[in-house]
Amino acid sequence: MAQTAKELSSAPKAGNGNRNTNEVVIDCNISELYYGKFKAVRDTRIPIERNKITAFIGPSGCGKSTVLRCLNRMNDLVRGFRFEGHVHFQGKDIYHHSVDPVAVRRYIGMVFQQPNPFAMTIYRNVAFGLKLNGYEGNREERVEQALRDAALWDEVKDKLHTSALSLSGGQQQRLCIARAIATRPEVLLMDEPCSALDPIATRRIEELMLELKDSYTIAIVTHNLQQAQRAADKTGFLYVDTTQGGRTGYLVEYGVTKQVFEDPKEKHTQDYIHGRFS
């Protein structure tokens, strides 16, 4: 596993903060994706670019989350999952048989739909990733930095050693973001991070994403079109194809957010964005 970890991290790295180059961090090309016999996604190619926010939008059941979970091999936990195509992370195929999914998930962090802090203290939640990676340096400093980056520090600095479950939903979600960024992963995947939150907490997370994109590459799945419009640089629209019997998701359109929303090329995208949907 150490070997693969080295390979993953030693891939060419462009300087962070160089935001003009459209360097692709994750090149995701799914030709076919199955859960057992069920074909969930087909023909989806989305490049995730460095220091940008890429949003996946589309109706329910179109496979947005499935695609996102492909990017750090969370789907490997689903029984019967089968994947054809490739996902290149910094030039390396993460589905190659020599790559350990555990290593992939250490470089590509994830924030989930439901806030899911562990039943331990706030401090230990954030330090969990540090511990997994065997970080020997100053853990307190790292935890504080992660909590500051997640805009949570001021609210929790006096109660770091109380249970994380005592926080509100929005705070819990920011704690989960802090936990995910404590180890400085290259990419942050967010699977509908605001769907369980109220509008104020949602706004807070959005602001946070815009701050984080200077140092991280973010891919987000969202049901909220305004959110994609406000936050995302690039947007991919997925739609469900029911013509072949099943419900298979596929990528309809991908481009700069402004273009996708204001001048969509495909009819399906136009219909969805203007709410003309059955």
Binding site for other proteins (CB under 8 A): 36-37, 72, 74, 77, 79-80, 82, 102-107, 109-110, 112, 114, 116-120, 128-129, 132-133, 163-167, 169, 172, 176, 179-180, 183, 196
DSSP string, 149-165: HTT-HHHHGGGTTSBGG
Report residue 189: phi and psi, to 5°: -100, 135
CB nearer other proteins, residue 143 or residue 180: 180
Least separation, in Å, of the C-beta of 106 and other proteins? 3
Report which of 261, 266, 250 is spatially closest to residue 45, judged by C-alpha positions.
Answer: 250
How many Å from the N-terminal Cα to the C-terminal Cα in the chain? 48
Least separation, in Å, of the C-beta of 260 and other proteins? 28
CB nearer other proteins, residue 105 or residue 268: 105
CB nearer other proteins, residue 61 or residue 169: 169
CB nearer other proteins, residue 162 or residue 270: 162
Least separation, in Å, of the C-beta of 116 and other proteins? 4
User: Can you tell me the distance from the alpha carbon of 176 to that of 189, in angstroms, rounded to the nearest whole number?
Assistant: 12
Whole-angstrom CA distances from 92 to 4, 28, 43, 267 are 10, 11, 20, 35
Least separation, in Å, of the C-beta of 275 and other proteins? 30
Least separation, in Å, of the C-beta of 205 and other proteins? 17
CB nearer other proteins, residue 74 or residue 150: 74
Q: Quote the tokens at residue 190.
A: 């967010």
Least separation, in Å, of the C-beta of 69 and other proteins? 9
| Dihedral class, residue 169 (left if φ above 0, else alpha if ψ from -120 to 50, else beta) | alpha
Whole-angstrom CA distances from 102 to 132, 145, 207, 218, 226 are 11, 24, 30, 20, 34
CB nearer other proteins, residue 106 or residue 234: 106
Least separation, in Å, of the C-beta of 161 and other proteins? 16
Whole-angstrom CA distances from 223 to 1, 58, 247 are 36, 7, 18
Check if the beta carbon of residue 74 is closer than 8 Å to that of residue 107: no
Q: Quote the tokens at residue 86.
A: 């490739």
CB nearer other proteins, residue 180 or residue 208: 180
Write down the residue that tokens 């994109």 correspond to. 213
